[in-house]
Structures are given as structure tokens and as C-alpha cells.
Amino acid sequence: MALPVAFFAVFFAYPVAAIVARGLKDRRAGGSWQIGRLRDVLTDPDIQHVLWFTSWQALASTGLTLLIALPGAYVFARFDFPGKQLLRAVVTVPFVLPTVVVGTAFLALLGRGGVLDELWGLRLDTSVWAILLAHVFFNYAVVVRTVGGLWAQLDPRQEEAARMLGASRFAAWRQVTLPALGPAVAAAALMVFLFTFTSFGVVQILGGPGFTTLEVEIYRQTAQLLALDTAAVLTLVQFAAVGAVLAVHAWTVRRRESALKLVDAAQTARRPQGPAQWALLGGVLLAVLLLVLVPLAVLVERSLHPSDGYGFDYFRELGSAEGGAFLVPPVEAVGNSLEYALAATAIALVIGGLAAAALTRRAGRLVRGFDALLMLPLGVSAVTVGFGFLITLDEPPLDLRASWILVPLAQALVGVPFVVRTMLPVLRAVDERLREAAAVLGASPWRVWREVDLPMVRRALLVAAGFAFAVSLGEFGATVFIARPDQPTLPVAVATLLSRAGELNYGQAMALSTLLMLVCAASLLLLERIRTDRTGEF
């Protein structure tokens, strides 16, 4: 645990604590704490409106996602149909896409000059509906994977036994299957709430000035108004909310582990039977088409549609920096992002792999607390982390503000939780007696890991690397602060282009988003070929 603890202490706890302390300490009064700022900020009507909207839209997004995605979870769990594995990979693509790309896709569909605007004169880009639909698009796979993965392994014979004893189909499902699915549904709902509560890129692009979440407000107070005291209070509020959500999520995961006896998922899937099941399958496929495929297709179409017809003009313009928004050609952001993501993946694999190994071999409150600590970067403001890097890592021996490694370090913080959650269940499944037998035969701890554990977790390690690479590639909240102007990443380049007026900037943003989407999709499709249904918790 030593290296993961040191990593999180230096590159997460220290920057976050430093920026909070700088915001809440009054240097003119001898560095005393301004506790009164908590009351002043939280009683501000504008801040209360932000907190209300953040909570309201997160609850609405979670409810809408469950309503649309739970039928999909059932279809993927219980039905066997042609193209199922490919479709399963396709619906997961939005989850690994950067939120900037998600916002850009829905902007092309719902915004000014978008498809709906051209066809019916309808614009939703500054409405709450655009935000809610984009959140459903982003989180659909969370419900399908989390709930559908467990649903596929529930023994259907227990529900059939209830039917034989006289229960109706609905009563059998309500009394047998639903209690077993409850923890998984709760875990999925909590994760969706967490991602939507901390939403940044989607709201920044689609919400306009009328809709601001807590994360967007922290960015505004930090980067635009330099009001660090207000940003510090909002960071503490977000930290407390995220901590509560993660605590409840950990409880639901422990409950899920004690669910009904599981069976091989391949034994429970069957072809749809009867008009009702075929209609359900058709409805789910239609929902996937409209909510997942159409926004991605529109994004590609806009990148190929300059004013004089279809072509690759926008992609060719990415190679030029003349009169543009960057010091270098925008296409260089592709190479920068790939280099940063590879470095961040290597860091995340080392830190996350050691953390997963430590969590496998130890138990107790300390370890459970460490497990929860590893998840905090998923919910704590990435804006706070990025700005914290700038004000803390500026003195020897950690003067890194001018170093390229600063971006991969911030991206690795987001990648580590995915590595841990992917590898931990697989490591726990390794029979401890195999390790003990190897040790009795004279193997050192390192050789035990190399000869016993590594062959069994190699596939999970590849999957963890893929997820870490995808999420590092799309990290935006922290990178927007620390990426150098001459070395932009893809998400930062997309956001910069969208913030500038002009058809060329808009088209280049669509082209860069398409490139980023293709890289993420290729990574995910590769993962689907090497992973198994039991590889990891997601």
C-alpha cells in the first residue's frame, strides 16, 4: 500500500487540501480560518440555485437513465440475438467518450444549425432536456453493464419455481428476481448520480449561461473570477456529497456480493419468444439507435459537411495553425493526447495494480477506507485538482509546472479507480492455497506473483489498461488547467474551438471530436475481444 498511499497523498490530497486552505484562510489576519465564508457562500441565493439545479438534474438524469436502460439490461441479459456482442460494445462507447465529445455530438444534433434545427427549426442546446438526454447517452452502459451483468447470472429456475407454486409472472419477478437485483440497481443508480452530479463538459457545452452545475461553478469561480474562497467552499460541499454517495455505493456492493446463487450467463440467454418479447427487443434496439447511434452519426456527418458540400476539408484544416486558436496545428493534439494517455496508463497500472494486490491480501476498516479513497477522484472536482496542481507543484523537489508529466499524473488519478475495480474481483478469485503451495515449494513473493497471479490476471490487466487509456484520453476537467498552449490535448482543443465563433472552428471541433471518438471506440472494441463477462466489476 505504500506507493499508492504516497501517490494519492502527494498528487490528490495535497493539491486539494492546499487549494481549500488557500481559499478559506485569511492571510491578512495571520492565516486564520474564515469559517464564516461557509455560511456566506451557502446562503448566497445564486449558489443555492446552483446547488438545487445540480441535485435536481442529477436525480432527474438518474431516473430517466434507469427508465430507459433497465429494459436494455434485461434484453442483453436474457435474450440471445445476432450481433449482440457488437451491440453490447457499441452501447458502451459513450461511457468511454470524453464529456466534451458527448456535448459536441448533442450540439450537432440539438444545437444551432443542428439536425433538428434544420429539419424542424427546433433547438434544445440551451435547455435542460439537452443535458438530460446527453447524460442518458453517457450513462446508458453503466446500467446495462452493472444490472445486466448480474441479471444474466441469476438462476432463472428460482423464478420458475415460484411460478410452479402459483405466483403470477409479475409476482415471481417482484418477490424473487427484484430483491436479488436491488443492490445492483442501487449501485448503478448511485454511479449514474455521481457522474451527473459532477457533470462538467456536458453542461459547459449544452447548458449555456442559464444552467450551471456545482463543477461548472467551481470552474467559473476559480478560472474566471479568481474567487478561491467561494470555490473552496463549493469543493467541500462536493467532497461531502461524493463521500456520502461512495459510502452508500460500497454498502450496495457488499450486499450485491450476497445475492442469489449465480450461474453461467451463457445458460440463461435464449432467443426471444412471442410477440411481447420481440416487441421489447425492437423497442430496446430503437432506443439504442436514437440515443446512442444517431448522435454519433450526426457528429461524423457534421465533420464531413462544410458549406460547399461533403468532403474532408475540416480534417485537412487541422494540419494548419494559420489564423487559428492554437500555437500549433490542431492535429498535433492527437499525438499529444496519445502520448499523455500512454504515460497515464502506465502510471495507473502500477499504482492501481499495487493497490488491488494490497486490498486482496488485507481486510479491516483501514483497508476499506483506502479502497474508498481510491474512488474519490471519480467524484471530487477535477477542476480543483488541476488548479491545485498549479499552486502546489511549483517548488523543488516537485517543481513540475513546466514538465510534460503533469498532465499524465492528473489523468492517472482518474484511471486508477478503473484499474482497481477491474483487477480486484479477479485477484480475489485466485485460490490462496495456490500461493501458499508455491511459497512452501520455495518461491519468493515476487515469483509467486509472477508464476501464480500474473497468468490468471493477465486478461484483466489488459482490460484495465484499456479502460485507463480511454478515460485518460478523454480527461478534461483537470487537463484544461495544466495543458500547455503549445501541447493541447484533444478534449482541450475541442473545447477551445467550440468557444470561438466561425464555421471553420466549429467544423474543426467536429473533426477532432470524430477522431477522438474513433480512437476511444477502437480501444473499447479491442477490449470486448479480450475480456470475459466476469472480468471486473464493470
Q: What are phi and psi of 217, to 5 degrees?
A: -65, -40
Please, where are the H alpha helices in 313-381? Answer: 313-317, 332-361, 365-375
Q: How far apart are CA 249 and CA 247, in angstroms?
A: 5
**What does the block give as the cell for 200?**
462538467
pLDDT at 534: 46
pLDDT at 326: 61
CATH classification of the domain holding 132: 1.10.3720.10
pLDDT at 110: 82
What is the signed CA dihedral for 138, 144, 150, 155, rounded to 10 degrees?
170
**What does the block give as the cell for 165?**
407454486
CB 222 within 8 A of CB 200: no
pLDDT at 533: 47
State pLDDT tens for residues 460-504. 788 788 778 878 887 877 888 788 877 888 888 888 887 777 788
Consecutive H or E run containing 194: helix 178-197
Which residue positions in the chain have pLDDT lower than 70?
Answer: 26-32, 249-250, 252-267, 321-327, 362-365, 367-368, 379, 527-538
Domain range for 365 is 2-20+36-530
Consecutive H or E run containing 527: helix 503-530
Please, where are the H alpha helices in 25-127? Answer: 36-42, 45-78, 84-96, 99-110, 115-120
Whether residue 31 is contained in a domain is answered as no
Whether residue 28 is contained in a domain is answered as no
List C-alpha distances in Å: 110 to 38, 116, 235, 333: 38, 6, 31, 27
Q: How far apart are CA 468 and CA 230, in angstroms?
A: 32
Whether residue 26 is contained in a domain is answered as no
CB 430 within 8 A of CB 423: no
pLDDT at 349: 92
Which amino acid is residue 192, in one-letter code? V
Whether residue 248 is contained in a domain is answered as yes
pLDDT at 28: 63
Strand pairing partners for 398?
395
Enter the pTM of the model: 0.78
Whether residue 417 is contained in a domain is answered as yes
State pLDDT tens for residues 263-296. 555 667 778 888 888 898 899 999 888 888 888 8
Number of domains in the chain: 1
- CB-based contacts of 284, cutoff 8 Å, min separation 6: 71, 72, 75
